[in-house]
Amino acid sequence: MNHDVIITCALTGAGDTVAKSHLVPITPAQIAAAAVEAAKAGATVVHCHVRDPQTGRFSRDVELYREVMQRIREADVDIIVNLTAGMGGDLEIGPGESPMEFGPGTDLIGPLERLAHIEALLPEICTLDCGTLNFGDGNAIYVSTPAQLRAGAKRITELGVKAELEIFDTGHLWFAKQMIKEGLLDDPLFQLCLGIPWGAPADTGTMKAMVDNLRKPCCSAATCGSVWKTTCTWTKACWPATANWSSVQWRSSAGLVHACSRRLKVGQK
């Protein structure tokens, strides 16, 4: 068993966590301060979303991301920054027999526009949500089609940013491996996000099946030297904690544990 772990801290989450607790950071200054606090407490990676400082709702504003990044970089900590690239995939189907009357939760843009802040800021890591998913019990769907994923994966690789593949269900893992076979991704990280209705359930059997699937070669040695894996169990954020911590196990297919620092750029070219 691998007992070496890297701790990553998701600072705000993507959902309406602000409504759950006043302790959730909202402004860029608050989010950056939470990142610094996490780094000093032992985290290696911070996963960042930004929010509208006035409303607390999620935002895709590049300038908000820029301020967060600048404040983190100016702080006296060495932390890997993982920016979400999943915003812009939300679709709220209309009620009843009016599915085309999209609801107020809809925020749907193309795959390259979802990467605007990644292009501008070039973090060490960014996420790529690897498939469409029924999200919760209502009419919300997260949309990430194969064509969109191929376009996003190609651009992330061109930018030299390490992709963290968000795997919410088994089909997402299947397609993620397909993108590696097609040469669209270079040594990505895999994150198994379990327990989100209605993706893969958070139980030992499901996690083991996914991890076992990752142990199988998903590309030839000529096209992919090592496939990184990270396994974690997602649990609903339990505020009023100041940060939602998750222990994750990172290892390469060769079984080597990599101690990453920001200066190593996590394998960036």
**pLDDT tens profile 167-215:** 999 999 999 999 999 999 989 999 999 998 999 999 999 999 999 988 7
- Picking from 119, 113, 129, the residue whose alpha carbon sits closest to that of residue 157 is 119
Q: List pLDDT tens digits, range 210-260.
A: 999 887 655 432 233 233 444 443 433 323 333 333 333 333 222 222 323
How far apart, in whole angstroms, are the C-alpha atoms of residue 267 and residue 262? 10
Confidence category of residue 48, pLDDT binned at 50, 70, 90: very high
What domains, with CATH codes, occur in the chain? Answer: 6-267 (3.20.20.70)
- Asked if 152 and 114 touch (Cβ cutoff 8 Å), the reply is yes
Residue 53 CA, chain-centre distance (Å), reads 22
Contacts of 63 (CB under 8 A, 6+ apart): none
Between 33 and 217, the more confident residue is 33
Half-sphere exposure of 263 (CA within 13 A, CB side): 2
CA distances from 142 to 38, 90, 132, 135, 205 (A): 29, 5, 5, 6, 25
pTM > 0.85 = no
Beta sheet of 89-92, edge-to-edge order = 107-108, 89-92, 140-142, 133-134
Print the SS3 string covering 211-225.
Answer: HHHHHCCCCCCCCCC
How many other C-beta atoms lie within 10 A of the C-beta of residue 37?
Answer: 18
